[in-house]
């Protein structure tokens, strides 16, 4: 069944690989028609470490999504993450020639090119050049400078870059399955599209996506991406710590984390224990609830503090008006909201994707925020709205750029 | 503007000259010397000290001192450190005369043999008496050279660590990492010598090159004096588009650096970036940002940038640091260490007690040497009366009463000494040695720290913390 305007978002996550199929309707909204998801293997800290295994999992997820949505998938929007992703802000400047006063599209391209001219390590490539603000002759607050009169055009950009080969791995994985990567984007940026409303972006907001292998964050100030980052620590680490600290098998630790984990200290009665039933290969035993909580608390507190420190270092914390939005699978741990608001000192929302039409169960689960964000991102790119204008340019060229050499 | 320029030039000129002397002791020492000469070094005096006349004759050094004229009669010391020590002692005045005047003295030697292991600590001692900053640059033997040789080397190293300001120690076994097993033996040794020579040259370079951001003698002292005399060193040079990153990567790859992992534990570090006129701010930034990932928050970084037209398009990064710091130590030692840093002029007092040949003037355990000198004024008299008891007394922390028993137990011969020395006094002592044992246990705990399922994946290191190691372990939260 052929349908027009189908977007597929593919997230190769550490704990699960997830493909979301959405349909753009004529009124400009999106409808989720199917979600395919399989537990991931061969992925560590958001990056593929076992190519063949990961490829099989991606294949399974795509097939699952195709079956559920009754759509043949040929093109995906791919989310990228990993500790190698870095970012910074840079300003580009273009001065118009003597005989010209009106700013045109070419100038916007030029100013972008100008901002991208920075010295990066040679193995790195730029993933995104996201527009923040334009200035015409020093006047700020210009939303769209095309057609304005001026002599000097300046623009601030948020530039995201990463190691080319490591980005290529994910792209190659998709390509080998006969799928076309329509565009790649960083996960945190996609997540923000799913979680934040436009006015929240304007007010300023922090989105933290605590997933299985990574913690991705993005800071919006004045409606523009001001900062983004990836911390290669996630829920997997908590499981690992529990397994080391309480000396239980990893699978059991994962279950314990999901079922009993709580990040708040002092909620357990003194001496309160959790009974782990015996299973094959595991003699049952009792563990102290407070110990479990302490392990989880130590991990998440450290993660959030690192994120806060990074945001503080760039002096963006005070411009955040709408608060912190935490999402991702790991955000389901009990008590995280209080811990986060203690650390950040501002309101914290446990967020999931904003409602869309279609499969409702998907966006009520914070695990799917990024995958849903990817289709929203795709939608933005396709609509080619001026707001998103910065993102769309050269989507194809960029992929080709990543693959050059 | 003109005034500014003048000031800039003037500042450099008024710097008192740092006279560097490179002293090679023994056969391996003079090999290192030759290598340093070959690579070219600015304004440094080269001194070769050896028992073997033939080897001495072959050396390219400007100053040569033959030691043990009467003892060995121009032959080697036959792998006997005692003989090496005695030979050096015989030529004390000659050694002193060539060493005099040096501000920074490198003492290079290969440990394990006779002359190197025996004479090097004595030479260092003389250098210390001349009030110089002494850096030991030593190579340890391959483990296949036999246990005896390794034991001699270890013993000599302990001795050197207690007298030198810092010891840069190159383990030949680890040198194998930088060469291929199939490489010719000659090339392999040359590669080892090259690494050693690089370290000497870059420290000299740091001290002598006028820099845009200058690193002074005082900075080098701070970095090297504060450690427990184990120096870290890395040097990398690269050219091309990505030279900043490559040079740093090479510097961190140095076998001494353990891929930057050891940098985490240091408290001071010097980074010196040197290149031609075309070094950009961006490159310096790249290097410093990448380096910052390897060090912890408390580390004090001294950054130096030098412009050397001869470098052309190349860019070099030298990292210099030493392990350990005062704060981590048991309290008794901390006090001593501060004293040592504040009052380096107490050094000469070491010479007040005439050292018994090959008998340690300073404790053989890696406790710092100079605090001993501090204790001495109160004890000078008894020490002189019963010189054979001196080492014992020095072993003990100030408050401790001496145990004459162990003095009588100790055999006068050197080689068998360290074995009874370390464990024997430890037993009767109570408070302070207990602390020492504790400290040892703490360091041991570091090794089995588990990263669990992330054992083989790329580590996530932020602000010097390995996030794959459970937080509760790093923060010492008790979990049952």
Q: How far A232 CA lies from chain B's nearest CA (Å)?
A: 6
| A217 and A331 fall within a common domain | yes
Whether residue A111 sits in one domain with residue A206: no
Q: Is the residue at A187 inside a domain?
A: no
CA distance A357 to A348: 26
Are residues A211 and A345 located together in one domain of the fold? yes
Shortest alpha-carbon distance between residue A286 and chain B (Å)? 10
What would the two tokens of residue B105 be? 């003295």
Q: Cβ contacts (< 8 Å) between A237 and chain B: which residues? A: 454, 467-468
Q: Do A237 and B475 touch (CB under 8 A)?
A: no
Q: Which of A83, A246, A301 sits opposite B460 (nearest CB)?
A: A83
Q: Spell out which residues of chain B touch residue A213, defining contact as CB-CB under 8 Å.
A: none
pLDDT at A321 over 60: yes
Distances from the Cα of A354 to the Cαs of A32, A360, A372, A375, in angstroms? 12, 10, 9, 12
How far A374 CA lies from chain B's nearest CA (Å)?
Answer: 26
Counting one residue from A and one from B, how many pairs have CB atoms under 8 Å apart?
A: 81
Any domain includes A343: yes
Residue A49 and residue A42 in contact, taking contact as beta carbons nearer than 8 Å: yes
Half-sphere exposure of B254 (CA within 13 A, CB side): 28
- Eight-state DSSP code of residue B176: T
Q: How does residue A60 score in pLDDT terms, banded at 50, 70 and 90? A: very high
| pLDDT per residue as tens digits for the range A373-403 | 999 999 888 876 444 444 444 555 565 556 5
* Residue A125's CATH number: 3.30.1490.110
Same domain, A346 and A211: yes
Q: Where among A137, A163, A189 does a domain terminate?
A: A163
Q: Does residue A366 form part of some domain?
A: no
Which residues does chain B have within 8 Å of residue A49's beta carbon, measured at their own beta carbons? Answer: 457
pLDDT-based confidence at residue A123 (cuts at 50, 70, 90): confident
Are B366 and B228 in contact by the 8 Å Cβ rule? The answer is yes
Partner-chain contact A236 B480, CB within 8 Å = no
Are A138 and A283 contained in the same domain? no
Q: Give the distance from residue B469's alpha carbon to the nearest chain A alpha carbon, in angstroms.
A: 8
Residues A336 and A226 in one domain: yes
Where is average pLDDT lowest: A105-109, A224-228, B69-73?
Answer: B69-73
Scan for tokens 């190769």, then name that residue.
A12
Which of B368, B264, B378 is closest to B321 using CA atoms? B264
What is the number of domains present in chain A?
A: 2
Burial class (CB in 10 A: 0-12, 13-18, 19+), B281: exposed
What b-and-e string marks burial along A28-51, b requiring 16 or more CB atoms within 10 Å of the CB?
A: eebebbbbbbbebebbbbbbbbee
In a domain, A79, yes or no: no
- Within 8 A by CB and 6+ apart from A7, the residues are A21, A22, A23, A24, A30, A77, A375, A378, A379, A382
| Residue B307 contacts residue B275 (beta carbons within 8 Å) | yes
Cross-strand bridge partners of residue B134: B105
> Looking at the domain assignment, is residue A231 inside a domain?
yes
Burial of B6 (0-12, 13-18, 19+ CB in 10 A): exposed
Q: Does the distance separating the beta carbons of B457 and A291 come in below 8 Å?
A: no
Residues A346 and A203 in one domain: yes
Contact (CB<8Å) A44/B454: yes
Write down the pLDDT at residue A301.
93
Strand-pairing partners, residue B24, are B48, B108
Q: Are residues A245 and A343 in the same domain?
A: yes
Tokens of B424: 């024997």
Q: Which residue has the tokens 């934040």?
A: A196
The token duo for A157 is 């950009």
Does residue A67 fall inside a structural domain?
Answer: no
Q: Which residues share a beta bridge with B11?
A: none
CB B126 within 8 A of CB B92: yes
Residue in B closest to A247 by C-alpha:
B480
Examine residue A72 and state whether it is found in any structural domain, yes or no. no
- Domain boundary, last residue among A115, A147, A163: A163
Say yes or no: A158 and A206 in one domain: no
For position A295, which CATH number holds?
3.30.420.40
If one compares B173 and A216, the residue with the highest pLDDT of the two is A216
Per the CB < 8 A criterion, the answer to whether A7 and A14 are in contact is no
Give which of B293, B297, B472 to mutate to test A binding, by max A Cβ within 10 Å. Answer: B472
Q: Among B282, B286, B452, whose Cβ lies nearest the Cβ of A240?
A: B452
Degrees (nearest 5) of the Cα angle A154, A124, A228? 60
E strand or H helix that includes residue B23? strand B20-25
> Is there a contact between A129 and A115 (Cβ–Cβ < 8 Å)?
yes
At residue B58, the pLDDT reads 80
3-state secondary structure chain A: CCCCCEEEEEEECCCEEEEEEEEECCCCCEEEEEEEEEECCCEECCEECCHHHHHHHHHHHHHHHHHHHCCCCCEEEEEECCCCCEEEEEEEEEECCCCCCECCHHHHHHHHHHHHCCCCCCCEEEEEEEEEEEEECCEEEECCCCCCECCEEEEEEEEEEEEHHHHHHHHHHHHCCCCEEEEEEEHHHHHHHHHCCHHHHHHCEEEEEECCCCEEEEEEECCEEEEEEEECCCHHHHHHHHHHHHCCCHHHHHHHHHHHCECCCCCCCCCCEEEECCECCECCEEEEHHHHHHHHHHHHHHHHHHHHHHHHHCCCHHHCCCEEEEECHHHHCECHHHHHHHHHCCCEEECCCCCCEECHHHHHCHHHHHHHHHHHHHHHHHHCCCCCHHHHCCHHHHHHHHHCC
The helix (run of H) or strand (run of E) holding residue B285 is helix B281-292
Examine the domain organization and report whether A148 and A262 are in the same domain.
Answer: no
Nearest-by-Cβ selection for B241 from A122, A240, A241: A122
What is the pLDDT confidence band of residue A330, given thresholds at 50, 70 and 90? Answer: very high
* Residue A25 placed within a domain: no
Residue of A nearest to B479 (CA): A291
Question: Cα–Cα distance between B420 and B406 in angstroms, integer?
Answer: 9
Counting as low any pLDDT under 50, the low residues of chain B are 1-15, 325-447
**10 Å Cβ neighbour count for A176?**
13
Chain B positions in Cβ-Cβ contact with residue A302 (cut-off 8 Å): 467, 471
Contacts of B471 in chain A (CB under 8 A): 241, 295, 298-299, 301-302
- A159 and A217 in one domain? no
Sign of CA dihedral B429, B430, B432, B437: positive
pLDDT of B253: 75
The reported pLDDT for the residue numbered A307 is 95
Q: Which domains does chain B have, with CATH numbers?
A: 14-208 (3.40.50.1440), 211-322 (3.40.50.1440), 331-441 (no CATH)
Round to whole Å and give the CA distance between B450 and B101. 51
- Stretch A144-152: mean pLDDT, rounded? 89
Kindly state the tokens that stand for B75: 């032959």
Cβ proximity of A305 and A233 under 8 Å: no
Residue (of B131, B128, B107) closest to B118 by Cα position: B107
> What average pLDDT does the structure give for chain A?
88
User: ipTM of the predicted structure?
Assistant: 0.79
Whether the model pTM is above 0.90: no
Backbone angles phi, psi at B208, to 5 degrees: -100, -25
Answer whether B175's CB lies under 8 Å from B196's CB. no
Domain with A277, as residue range(s), is 198-353
Q: Per-residue pLDDT tens for B305-339?
A: 888 777 788 888 888 877 754 433 333 333 333 33
Residue of B nearest to A306 (CA): B462
Distance from CA of A236 to the nearest CA of B (A): 9
Cα separation, B363 vs A203, whole angstroms: 66
Identify which of B242, B453, B454 has the shortest CB distance to residue A122: B242
Answer for the pair A174, A58: CB distance below 8 angstroms, yes or no.
yes
Q: Do A337 and A207 sit in the same domain of this protein?
A: yes
Is A237 in Cβ contact with B472 (below 8 Å)? Answer: no
């Amino acid at each position: 069944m052929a349908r027009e305007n189908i977007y597929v978002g593919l997230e190769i996550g550490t704990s699960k690989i997830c493909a979301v199929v959405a349909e753009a309707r004529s009124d400009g909204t999106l409808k989720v028609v199917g979600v395919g998801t399989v537990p991931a293997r061969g992925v560590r800290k958001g990056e593929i470490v076992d190519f063949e295994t990961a490829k099989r999992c991606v294949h399974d997820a795509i097939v699952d999504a195709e079956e559920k949505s009754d759509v043949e998938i040929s093109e995906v929007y791919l989310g990228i993450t990993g500790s190698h992703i870095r970012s910074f802000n840079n300003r580009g400047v273009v001065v118009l020639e003597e005989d010209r006063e009106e700013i045109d599209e070419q100038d916007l391209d030029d100013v972008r090119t100008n901002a991208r001219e920075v010295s990066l390590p040679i193995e790195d490539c730029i993933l995104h050049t996201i527009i923040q603000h334009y200035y015409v002759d020093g006047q700020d607050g210009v939303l769209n400078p095309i057609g304005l009169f001026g002599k000097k055009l300046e623009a601030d950009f948020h530039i995201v870059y990463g190691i080319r080969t490591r980005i290529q791995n994910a792209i190659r994985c998709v390509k080998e399955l006969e799928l076309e990567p329509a565009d790649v984007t960083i996960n945190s940026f996609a997540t923000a599209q799913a979680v934040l409303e436009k006015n929240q972006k304007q007010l300023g907001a922090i989105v933290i996506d605590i997933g299985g292998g990574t913690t991705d964050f993005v800071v919006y100030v004045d409606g523009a991406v001001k900062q983004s980052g990836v911390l290669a620590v996630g829920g997997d680490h908590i499981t690992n710590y529990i397994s080391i600290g309480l000396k239980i098998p990893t699978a059991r630790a994962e279950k314990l984390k999901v079922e009993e984990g709580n990040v708040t200290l002092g909620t357990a009665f003194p001496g309160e224990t959790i009974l782990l039933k015996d299973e094959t290969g595991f003699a049952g035993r009792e563990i102290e609830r407070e110990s479990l909580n302490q392990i989880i608390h130590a991990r998440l507190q450290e993660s959030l503090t690192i994120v806060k420190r990074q945001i503080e270092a760039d002096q963006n914390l005070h411009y955040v008006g709408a608060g912190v939005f935490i999402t991702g699978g790991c955000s389901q741990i009990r008590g995280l909201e209080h811990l986060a608001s203690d650390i950040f000192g501002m309101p914290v929302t446990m967020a999931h994707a904003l409602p869309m039409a279609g499969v409702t169960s998907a966006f009520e689960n914070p695990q799917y925020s990024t995958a849903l964000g990817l289709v929203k991102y795709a939608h933005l790119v396709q609509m080619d709205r001026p707001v998103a204008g910065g993102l769309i340019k050269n989507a194809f060229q960029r992929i080709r750029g990543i693959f050059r050499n | 503007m003109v005034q500014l320029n003048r000031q800039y030039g003037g500042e450099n000129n008024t710097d008192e000259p740092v006279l560097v002397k490179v002293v090679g002791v023994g056969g391996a020492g003079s090999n290192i010397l030759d290598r340093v000469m070959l690579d070219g070094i600015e304004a440094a005096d080269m001194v070769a000290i050896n028992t073997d006349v033939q080897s001495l004759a072959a050396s390219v050094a400007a100053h040569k001192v033959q030691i043990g004229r009467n003892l060995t009669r121009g032959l080697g010391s036959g792998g006997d450190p005692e003989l090496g020590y005695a030979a050096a002692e015989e030529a004390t005045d000659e050694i002193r005369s060539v060493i005099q005047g040096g501000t920074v003295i490198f003492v290079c030697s290969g440990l394990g043999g006779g002359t190197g292991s025996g004479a090097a600590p004595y030479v260092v001692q003389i250098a210390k008496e001349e009030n110089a900053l002494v850096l030991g640059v030593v190579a340890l033997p391959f483990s296949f050279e036999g246990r005896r040789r390794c034991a001699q080397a270890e013993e000599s190293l302990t001795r050197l660590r207690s007298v030198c300001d810092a010891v840069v120690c190159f383990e030949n076994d680890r040198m194998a990492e930088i060469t291929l097993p199939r490489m010719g033996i000659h090339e392999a040794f040359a590669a080892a010598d090259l690494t050693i020579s690089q370290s000497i040259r870059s420290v000299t370079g740091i001290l002598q090159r006028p820099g845009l951001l200058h690193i002074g003698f005082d900075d080098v002292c701070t970095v090297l004096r504060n450690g427990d005399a184990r120096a870290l060193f890395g040097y990398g040079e690269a050219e091309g588009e990505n030279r900043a990153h490559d040079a740093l990567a090479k510097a961190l790859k140095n076998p001494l650096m353990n891929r930057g992992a050891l940098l985490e534990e240091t408290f001071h570090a010097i980074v010196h970036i040197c290149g031609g006129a075309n070094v950009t701010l961006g490159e310096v930034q790249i290097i410093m940002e990448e380096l910052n990932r390897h060090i912890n928050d408390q580390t004090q970084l001294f950054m130096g940038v030098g412009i050397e037209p001869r470098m052309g398009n190349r860019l070099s990064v030298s990292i210099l640091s030493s392990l350990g710091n005062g704060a981590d130590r048991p309290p008794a030692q901390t006090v001593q260490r501060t004293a040592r840093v504040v009052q380096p002029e107490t050094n000469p007092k070491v010479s007040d007690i005439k050292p018994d040949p090959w008998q340690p003037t300073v404790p053989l355990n890696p406790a710092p040497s100079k605090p001993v000198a501090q204790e001495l004024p109160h004890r000078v008299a008894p020490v002189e009366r019963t010189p054979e008891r001196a080492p014992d007394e020095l072993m003990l922390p100030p408050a401790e009463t001496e145990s004459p028993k162990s003095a009588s137990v100790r055999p006068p011969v050197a080689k068998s000494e360290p074995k009874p020395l370390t464990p024997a006094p430890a037993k009767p002592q109570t408070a302070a040695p207990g602390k020492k044992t504790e400290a040892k246990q703490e360091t041991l705990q570091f090794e089995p720290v588990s990263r669990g399922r992330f054992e083989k994946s790329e580590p996530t290191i932020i602000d010097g913390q390995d996030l794959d190691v459970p937080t509760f372990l790093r923060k010492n939260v008790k979990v049952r």
